[in-house]
Amino acid sequence: MCTAAVMPGANRPVELQRFSAPELEPGGVLLETVFSEVCGTDVHLSHGRLAGVPYPIIPGHVSVGRVVDVRGEPHDVDGRPVRVGAMVTFLDVVGTCNACWFCLVAKMPNRCPSRRVYGVTYSANEGLYGGWSQLIYLKPGVSILELPATLTPERVIAGGCALPTAIHAVDTARIRLGDRVLVQGAGPVGLSAAVLALLSGAGAVYIVERHEVRLAMAREFGVDEAIRLDSSGSNGHVERVLALTEGRGVDVTIEATGVPEAVKDGIHMTRDGGRYVIVGHYTDHGEVGINPHTEINRKHLEIRGVWGVDFSHFHRMLRILDRHGAKVAGGRGWEHMVSRTYGLDEVNQALSDVETGRIVKGLIRPTAP
């Protein structure tokens, strides 16, 4: 038996429930959860903003755990066996079919209709498919990665679901050495993107954000300038970015806010011939007015939407954390992005703290006493 936090439906508080440990299928793996996390998507889930979610669910998509049981001979991507006792993480997406038009022709497994997502599209009635639980059942075929001895669970979960997403965005942005980069929004995805831009040798990295706690953390992670969003209508933040870039705007902007108006703003702060990457709009917050002449055609602009991740981003997350994770934030390490760790009985508080911007990133430790 184990305890899990269950989100019963939209706008209803999360409750603790007891579950039996699952019967493992051949190739299945059972984890004792060490850390899961609470992210912006969890807030959206708590308000019913995503379509097709089979409530009740156990939230928590990216997690780190210790293997407590295996059946058969599951292997990782490098062909090494997954053994009891190993500390692992796993891609939260399962069931990519490798047989449909999205998987095989468009080569967008991130849009495969068969894929299911731990913590989002599995019902709690189906089993332990979310990280806000003392046990997680990894079905056969889940892509598992064992943590190298040099990486702690804390550092990996600090990367969490935001870091692979940010890797995908930064790859798409094609930052070159010396490029000036603007990130809009200093939540986990935006902050991760800003740190990755710094690690990519950007000439300068600016961040625009409205919450003070996030601006402060962006500074601690070394951005060149953390600019408070001016929502007075006078657009002081836009003027500041233009002043920092000879009036031209930055070479690359990465949007990570989810606020439609940010797209219009961000385009103004990007130079002619620059690149604008939208990675923050995972839910629908409506439209923004865009002028195709002044904002796209005459600017000769490239705009790219980035949806989700595939396993390659997740795989590179570990390599990037192993390489760079210790030195960021002035040596405090990637785990400095974590504001607070919550027990299973505190998840409602965690959701509220993320929603109001009181924290940057919150962890869930299901086995906390």
Q: Which of residues 31-50 bind its own copies (CB under 8 A)?
A: none
- The distance of closest approach from Cβ of residue 322 to its own copies in the complex, given in angstroms and rounded to an integer, is 8
- The distance of closest approach from Cβ of residue 35 to its own copies in the complex, given in angstroms and rounded to an integer, is 22
- The distance of closest approach from Cβ of residue 83 to its own copies in the complex, given in angstroms and rounded to an integer, is 18
Q: Is 208 in the site for its own copies (CB under 8 A)?
A: no
- The distance of closest approach from Cβ of residue 106 to its own copies in the complex, given in angstroms and rounded to an integer, is 5
Q: How many residues bind its own copies (CB under 8 A)?
A: 80
Q: Is 246 in the site for its own copies (CB under 8 A)?
A: yes
Contacts of 244 (CB under 8 A, 6+ apart): 180, 204, 206, 225
Structure tokens at 175: 């930052």
- Cβ proximity to its own copies: between 180 and 237 the closer is 180
| CA–CA distance, 212 with 226 (Å, rounded to integer) | 10
Task: Find the binding residues for its own copies in span 129-168 (CB under 8 A).
Answer: 141, 143, 167
| CA–CA distance, 235 with 169 (Å, rounded to integer) | 26
For its own copies, the binding residue among 18, 73, 78, 232 (CB under 8 A) is 78
Q: What angle do CA 350, 355, 361 make, to 5 degrees?
A: 55
Coil, strand or helix: which one is 345?
helix
285-289 contacts at long range (C-beta below 8 A, 24 or more positions apart): 285/258, 285/259, 285/260, 286/260, 287/260, 288/260, 288/261, 288/263, 288/264, 289/264
Q: Is 81 in the site for its own copies (CB under 8 A)?
A: no
- Cβ proximity to its own copies: between 216 and 296 the closer is 296
Q: Is 52 in the site for its own copies (CB under 8 A)?
A: no
Question: Which of 6-44 are b and which e, b meaning 16 or more Cβ less than 10 Å from the residue's Cβ?
Answer: bbeeeeeebeeeebeebebeebbbbbbbbbbbbbbbbbb
Q: Is 307 in the site for its own copies (CB under 8 A)?
A: yes
Of 63-71, 120-128, 273-281, 335-343, the window that binds its own copies (rule: CB under 8 A) is 273-281
Of 71-79, 127-135, 152-160, 326-334, the window that binds its own copies (rule: CB under 8 A) is 71-79
- Cβ proximity to its own copies: between 55 and 282 the closer is 282
Bridge partner residues of 16 (DSSP): 5
Q: Is 111 in the site for its own copies (CB under 8 A)?
A: yes
For its own copies, the binding residue among 284, 332, 345, 368 (CB under 8 A) is 284
Q: Is 55 in the site for its own copies (CB under 8 A)?
A: no
Contacts of 247 (CB under 8 A, 6+ apart): none
- The distance of closest approach from Cβ of residue 185 to its own copies in the complex, given in angstroms and rounded to an integer, is 13
Report the candidate in 9, 54, 56, 60 with the shortest Cα–Cα distance to residue 39: 60
